[in-house]
Chain A
């Protein structure tokens, strides 16, 4: 069993981003970058499946600039066996990323491909589902529990009403949710060892896939802010305000 894990390098979740004043985008030139938190969970799951003897190989793959090597090194330090960087000048839209990843999946032929359910920068929540469509594979999104069983897998999904359990045939694509596991930190010896693990690079252009954007970004603006209100003395005053001033009770 081989598991391919898709990883995106994003602005760290603790960074408060700044919108450029001319509306041309988000300024993250000096922001701390890290592995998308959901992708960390996906990778952790793959490594645990390998440690449990259910998988033999874990391959991490990302689409991005040369700088994205750092998240792949992190992936290798956490326990991935090898890594693939598909180089692109700017990070393409999810549809293009899905096409590139599908091309890698066709040559790597994994049994399972794991994704984070969404990237915390563009919040699109698309790439896993799109890759699954392009490959014609089964899909399980928002997964919080995985049980592998021969050529099938059972996935528990976090859905609006609660939890849904489905069974998928392999090969399959799963996108993972927060409560699947808690990712490990890479230890110093493993960070050192990761430097020797294979990291293959290729150009997105060599895969023969058109990655031109389909959406035209017209503007990027600050959300309309909320101003902080007033401090109240206690519950009686609160009830009074909600009834009389706000009229919501």
Chain B
């Protein structure tokens, strides 16, 4: 039976995580429809129609759906669920917000953040900050999974599926959108960037973070990440946090600067292809996962790196 993939996007742009979750859906196997929930979301719907392997794109638009708030989005997904055996979403903050709500309405136990499809009903997922990997089989009548997108490559984009608008019912909202406080940036998006440079507590201030990390990021064309300590201290915004409870990344290059390598941080980056650590403490745990380590002071090393790149 068919699969419904809940897309993440901002109405204009389809996020790369959707193309990655699509790869997981293709591995599960079956006819795949993509659901775009939003308002004035033609842009995202068109992009979804190009994902290779999509049967059709369902476009649900309305005021209450513009920001994909949980209650309205979940109600819509529940109404579509009878037509599908499997519901898939990328484990973005949207997917994580909405999907458990859908699962509970359908009396299904969700499988969170799968990293591998073993069989259409059997998946691998990390537990304990990635210190163990569990293989679980679903025994419910329906399968509901969120996908850890760093573990799947984006699917190709040479399809042309039809886009079909679907009617939505208007129910009084339990919650309303007030505002998004998003900083716009020309840098690549952290979750899908090919190169990431991250800074930790060692930076000491927001000013130092900007002065030392950002120029290297710009030279490399890299996305910027941070440890929890750096975010908590206000050196970097919350959406830069990498780790068990932040973003999970697996870039070609992860450059950790003044980060000790706590398990919660490693949980978010240890699947990176190449890890580089710069730390003045030769015994810092980050060196145990680093392919290349440099023992030294970031206040000397980063300006040097920037000038030599």
Contact = CB atoms under 8 A, between A and B. Distances in A.
Interface stretch (A42-50, A90-98, A189-197): A90-98
Contacts of B51: none
Contact of B127 (A26, A138, A232): A26
Contact of B138 (A214, A232, A246): A214
Interface string B282-298: 10000111111111100
Interface in A169-221: 169, 172, 177-179, 213-221
A67 interface: no
Contact of B136 (A133, A160, A216): A216
B264 A13 contact: yes
Contacts of B136: 215-218
Contacts of A159: 93-94, 180, 239
A138 B71 contact: yes
Nearest to A213: B109
Chain B interface main SS type: mixed
A19 B129 CA distance: 13
Q: Chain A interface residue count: which class?
A: 35 or more
A167 B182 contact: no
A133 B72 CA distance: 11
B138 A215 contact: yes
Nearest to B17: A160
B81 interface: no
Interface residues of B, number: 89
B238 A222 contact: no
Interface in A113-154: 117-118, 120-134, 137-142, 144, 154
B247 A241 contact: no
A139 B309 CA distance: 47
10 contacts: A95-B110, A138-B71, A142-B97, A177-B238, A213-B109, A217-B134, A217-B135, A229-B291, A231-B287, A242-B253
Interface of B: 10, 67, 69-71, 74, 92-94, 96-105, 107-113, 122, 126-140, 174-183, 191, 195, 220, 228, 231-232, 237-239, 244-245, 247, 252-253, 263-264, 270, 273-276, 282, 287-296, 301, 304-305, 308-309
